[in-house]
Amino acid sequence: MTIQLLVIVILSVVVVGAAGVTVALRRSKQLPSAEREALPPAEVPSEEEAAPAEERPEAPAGRLVRLRSRLARSNSAFGKGLLAILGRATLDQAAWDELEETLLAADVGVGPTTELVDRLRTRLQVEGSTDLTRAREILREELVALVDPSLPRSLRSEGEAGQPGVVLVVGVNGTGKTTTVGRLARVLVAEDKTVVLGAADTFRAAAADQLQTWGERVGAPVVRGPEGGDPASVGFDTVKTGLESGADVVVIDTAGRLHTKAGLMDELGKVKRVVEKQAPVTEVLLVIDATTGQNGLTQARVFGEVVDVTGLVLTKLDGTAKGGIVIAVQRELGVPVKFVGLGEGPDDLAPFDAEEFVDALLA
């Protein structure tokens, strides 16, 4: 009887002790931060343990196949519509008018549409072929020619004489500009380049925080200024930081200028002039929402007058059957589309390839 009583007492002590440890742990999580710091180190997670691990972005070349299939799904109606018309036994005037309407609806633009229809009509009449396979081949050749594979599409990210390449990213708010800067940083890091990001969109409260998150995920430092501060000053400091740290590329997110406000557009020109006091700008990328159609073309025209756009990024191309905007905007500015955004993922930005794009349209 005495032994049984002794066992019960020992078990009671163990249970009470365990409960005390549990309560202490719970209370430690509820303590103010100052009191928690006074606890033994083993009971408080270190900052290194709490910090998120850096990611290794997907290599740009590996994205093309995946993004091509996504583009093909979203634009299949466009390609199938064109091929259905060209495959008819008789291509009368009504058929050619319908083909023209299909191209215009896809935002190819009036000039390029007229040019494409005329060339298709001439080639099919000369060959006298009604074979759908041959018609598809001719359509592909003419579309590729319109998209123009000869345009230089590589990102100019290398500076001269030991200076970093300087990339300005411009565009209207809502086009996905800051997201594009973050994704572009991932493209560059995947190519083993060191990157410094500049949060010069100081007029949008969340822009700097958003860019900070992108930078932390790939180990790219972010230079930022006070909210509502001078964007040109942030751009200047970003390039200075890039020079001092020996970075390969500096990418600057500029404010989302409304193209209807001349004063703000002039300020964007000022950002470029001030930045170039440190190092030449090697690339100016204009981000355009592919779903905006003619409004996107208007934006492209005005931005091109202010900052000498050298390349285009088309975002949201996966949610539209209006892939013809690629042709129209290149024709409008005379500069190439260099990247396309085809989804919501962090690595859904891919280098643009003319033949891949056309094959996706006709898939």
Is the distance from CB of 247 to CB of 162 less than 8 angstroms?
no
Residue 25 lies in a domain: no
Residue 72 lies in a domain: yes
Q: What is the CA 239 to chain-centroid distance, rounded? A: 21
Render pLDDT for 223-274 as a digit per residue (tens, 0 to 9): 998 888 889 999 999 999 999 999 999 999 998 766 556 666 777 888 999 9
Q: CATH number of the domain at 183, please.
A: 3.40.50.300
Specify whether 193 is located in the same domain as 268.
yes
Range of the domain at 131: 60-147
Residue 250 lies in a domain: yes
Q: CATH number of the domain at 88, please.
A: 1.20.120.140
Q: How many CB atoms lie within 10 A of CB 269?
A: 15
Specify whether 224 is located in the same domain as 115.
no
Specify whether 180 is located in the same domain as 295.
yes
Distance separating alpha carbons of residues 73 and 91, to the nearest angstrom: 27
Specify whether 124 is located in the same domain as 189.
no
Task: Say how many domains are in the chain.
Answer: 2
pLDDT of 22 reads 39
Residue 129 lies in a domain: yes
Specify whether 202 is located in the same domain as 282.
yes
Residue 93 lies in a domain: yes
pLDDT of 70 reads 67
> How does DSSP assign 172-201, residue by residue?
-TTSSHHHHHHHHHHHHHHTT--EEEEEE-
Residue 217 lies in a domain: yes
Specify whether 141 is located in the same domain as 172.
no
**Intervals of the chain under pLDDT 70:** 1-54, 60-62, 64-77, 129-130, 257-264, 318-322
Say how many Å lie between the first and final Cα of the chain, rounded. 86
Specify whether 85 is located in the same domain as 183.
no
Q: pTM, whole model, 2 decimals? A: 0.80
pLDDT of 162 reads 84
Specify whether 86 is located in the same domain as 185.
no
Residue 5 lies in a domain: no
Q: Which of 282, 309, 336 is the last residue of a domain?
A: 309
Specify whether 106 is located in the same domain as 202.
no
SS3 state of residue 14: helix
Residue 92 lies in a domain: yes
Specify whether 134 is located in the same domain as 227.
no
Distance separating alpha carbons of residues 363 and 341, to the nearest angstrom: 19
Specify whether 142 is located in the same domain as 187.
no
